[in-house]
Structure 1
Amino acid sequence: MTAHVIADDAEALAVAAGLAEAFRTEAPIRDAERRLPYAELEQLSASGLLGVTVPADHGGADVRQETLAEVFRLLASADASLAQIPQNHFVYVNVLCRQGTPEQRKFFFGEVLAGRRFGNAQSEAGTRHVQDIRTRLLSLPDGSHELTGVKHYSTGALFADWIPVLARAEDDNLYVAYVPRDADGLTVVDDWDGMGQRTTASGTVRLDAVIVPADRVVPHHLTFQGPQLHGAVAQLLHAAIDAGIAGGALAEAAEFVRTKSRPWFESGVDTAAEDPLLIQRFGELDLQVRASEALLGVAARAVDAARDELTDASAAEASLAVAAAKAHTTATAVLVADALFEVSGTRAALDSLNLHRYWRDARTHTLHDPARWKIQHLGRHVLNGTRPPRHGLL
């Protein structure tokens, strides 16, 4: 596989905008028919977008997080499933930036710049909570490792070249094993049946005594022993996806009202777009979308500032700013996707139009982790000066 290498932030944004327009056209059909986006992901790989966070000394553009967040917002405004698939890709590129050896970074950054995709095998079902990881990474006499477990919600794994697997070693610490998609003993099951994000293929990964060389394992637990941005970067991209869904739903609603809706007979106007009550409601919705996008920008700039000078204080500020953005975009995505029907009227409910994909995507994606805990950490900080905890979900 070969891929274009993007030079800088401006090119990354231009490429993302172009792909978003291309992906938008058939997004309703892909969702309705659950047509998995193999061709679109090949376009994404070839475009070079997957390599934009590779450090400059390895040949990448090393774009700012503000740029990366906008890339995801643009893609999600067109197709939330397509935007979700590479989210974990960037998370696990970030893991290598933080904990990879020079040799690991050289190899895997070369893979990424060539357009190869990282998936994810992280979450598990039936455990006590989301951080109760029971997949085991056992050391073998020859220095390699054996990986055994079952993963769920494995977004991107079906389309991946490499599947990063979160596992615990004998010392009970967390490691990430980078496993090739075709490894013996690894099976990806396309059993995702979520009501939204239908084409993410976020199914099951089974690992049956998969052998992993020592140089494909990264000590992820070390990430959380000092100030870190792992959770802030991951959550920033989730917030960008929600902001994109909200913006896409608002644009779809406006187009529908302009071109398909009839005015209410009591309004006394000739077109629905002139109805003062609809104008008021669109203004209210636009205000929420603008606020979400503004908070997303503030959060991204806080992450960038912390990357430039990482301390306990800067990492905490980045996590709190991202928490605020995530809490707001969660509410906005669901609100606007629901209001699409309120402002558009009965015809918008036709299943053939598939406008409900925005609500289904918003409602599904915002379940990733509870916004109420984001607000809890904000409250603890503003009242008592308590810094947020170091973990991968904040």
Structure 2
Amino acid sequence: MTKLQGAPVRVIANGEEALATAAELTESFRPGAAGRDAERRLPLEELGRLSASGLLGITVPAAHGGADVPAATLAEVFRLLATADASLAQIPQSHFVYVHVLRRQGSPAQQEFFFGEVLAGRRFGNAQSEKGTRHVQDIRTRLGPQDDGSYLLTGVKHYATGALFADWIPVLARAADDGELYVAYVPRGAAGVTVLDDWDGMGQRTTASGTVRLDRVVVPADRVVPHHLTFRGPQLHGAVAQLLHAAIDAGIAAGALAEAAEFVRTRSRPWFESGLETAAEDPLLIQRFGELSVQVRAAEALLASAARTVDAAAKGLTDDTAAEASIAVAAAKVQAGAAAVETSSALFELAGTRSALDGLNLHRHWRDARTHTLHDPARWKVQHIGRYVLNGTRPPRHGLL
């Protein structure tokens, strides 16, 4: 074990241990989820336990002391956490994405340093999205070289999930001279870095996905990774990132369905025309629960299939295997997003009027689903799937598929 601010940090040995740890944490996080959301109480204590559990280090390569779990295990970890608290599950999504960036483009020295940080329980946030630009890939944050070999980083980032809670903030920036894409790994407390807790979304309320201001932040050369090289050949960067988003959506759907079933079994009254003693005996409700269960199971099955496809591609990465992985993940994301929105909305239809009471905060499932599924449009994923199936057109290498 290593130490995290005086607390021991476990180093998880394998996938089985990772899943068992995730299941244990999920059950401990579940009881307080509604209250944290209702009061917008940031999950600092819960994130400390997540760090200490060792889960943040499970994708570190075995050569560096990590469990190096497959994508299938990682996706299931995220799905489990999201069944309890979608905000809490969303916070480490960027952490694993930027661990993956280091696996792909980090130098040996960078990997040795940062993988050590991760195994010690240190958290990566993110600073990538920007407001007011032409589109999501129009990155205005600039990384300019200095005479001593270091860089100056300047820009403003929004929707920076995890940054407020991070030890390191990976910043997506373009080189001032040639516009190429880089990731600068910046300490949370570095001079010139300001992280604002100004996120006011209707859902995922406790992710603290606020603003990061970067005012002439000095970045040593050995903290900069050439991310543009990722997209000059077959890559799984987008597939891995999107797989985790799909897992969160699938978890939201499963969590909403489980809470709806519990409410109907224990708190709902039967409709008087049914002539039944309990709401759970109502064949109309039974039918609807069955239909929603099919949607949730389909999301979970596509998620598992997509994760296996990503793992297969990682063992033999080519243009064809990378394309198949991206398409499989796109299909899983479309289904999981639809299941999350439908199930979290149908919860009220199934549970009845009392389920809409604000004090119960059952609407957090729908608010989380509706907010998270706006991350990137499903309609474009369907387009890429259709082009691939009909014409064999591989999806683009832009990191969002």
Normalised to the residue count of structure 2, the TM-score between the two structures is 0.98
Aligned counterpart for 2:197 among listed residues 190, 193, 204: 190
Aligned counterpart for 1:51 among listed residues 40, 53, 57: 57
State how 1:1-394 maps to structure 2 within 5 Å.
Answer: 1=4, 2-169=8-175, 170-394=177-401
- Alpha-carbon distance between aligned partners in 1 of 2:152 and 2:45, rounded to the nearest angstrom: 33
Alpha-carbon shift at residue 72 of structure 1 (Å): 0.2
- Find runs of 4+ consecutive structure 1 residues off by over 6 angstroms: none
Question: Residue type of the partner of 1:315?
Answer: A
Alpha-carbon shift at residue 269 of structure 1 (Å): 1.1
After superposition, give the CA deviation of every residue in 1:141-181 in whole Å (9 maximum; x if it has no partner): 00000000000000000000000000000210000000000
Question: Residue type of the partner of 1:338?
Answer: S
After superposition, give the CA deviation of every residue in 1:252-276 in whole Å (9 maximum; x if it has no partner): 0000000000001111211000000
After superposition, give the CA deviation of every residue in 1:7-47 in whole Å (9 maximum; x if it has no partner): 00000000000000000010000000000000000000000
After superposition, give the CA deviation of every residue in 1:103-162 in whole Å (9 maximum; x if it has no partner): 000000000000000000000000000000000000000000000000000000000000
Alpha-carbon shift at residue 229 of structure 1 (Å): 0.1
SS in 1 for 2:222: helix
Alpha-carbon shift at residue 197 of structure 1 (Å): 0.1
Question: Residue type of the partner of 2:317?
Answer: L
Q: Which runs of 5+ in 1 are unaligned?
A: none
- Alpha-carbon distance between aligned partners in 2 of 1:309 and 1:9, rounded to the nearest angstrom: 21
Q: Which runs of 5+ in 2 are unaligned?
A: none
- Alpha-carbon distance between aligned partners in 2 of 1:111 and 1:171, rounded to the nearest angstrom: 31
Question: Residue type of the partner of 2:297?
Answer: R
SS in 1 for 2:206: helix
- Alpha-carbon distance between aligned partners in 1 of 2:224 and 2:238, rounded to the nearest angstrom: 20
- Aligned residue-pair number: 394
- Alpha-carbon distance between aligned partners in 2 of 1:374 and 1:20, rounded to the nearest angstrom: 30
**Root mean square deviation of aligned Cα:** 0.4
SS in 2 for 1:26: helix
- Alpha-carbon distance between aligned partners in 1 of 2:346 and 2:24, rounded to the nearest angstrom: 28
- Alpha-carbon distance between aligned partners in 1 of 2:249 and 2:26, rounded to the nearest angstrom: 15
After superposition, give the CA deviation of every residue in 1:347-393 in whole Å (9 maximum; x if it has no partner): 00000000000000000000000000000000001111100000110
- Alpha-carbon distance between aligned partners in 2 of 1:360 and 1:341, rounded to the nearest angstrom: 13
Alpha-carbon shift at residue 70 of structure 1 (Å): 0.3
After superposition, give the CA deviation of every residue in 1:308-352 in whole Å (9 maximum; x if it has no partner): 111111000000000000011111100000000000000000000
- Alpha-carbon distance between aligned partners in 2 of 1:51 and 1:356, rounded to the nearest angstrom: 33
- Alpha-carbon distance between aligned partners in 1 of 2:101 and 2:364, rounded to the nearest angstrom: 32
- Alpha-carbon distance between aligned partners in 1 of 2:52 and 2:229, rounded to the nearest angstrom: 33
Alpha-carbon shift at residue 3 of structure 1 (Å): 1.1
SS in 1 for 2:131: coil
Alpha-carbon shift at residue 251 of structure 1 (Å): 0.1
Alpha-carbon shift at residue 283 of structure 1 (Å): 0.2
Alpha-carbon shift at residue 76 of structure 1 (Å): 0.3
SS in 1 for 2:9: coil
SS in 2 for 1:120: coil
Alpha-carbon shift at residue 213 of structure 1 (Å): 0.1
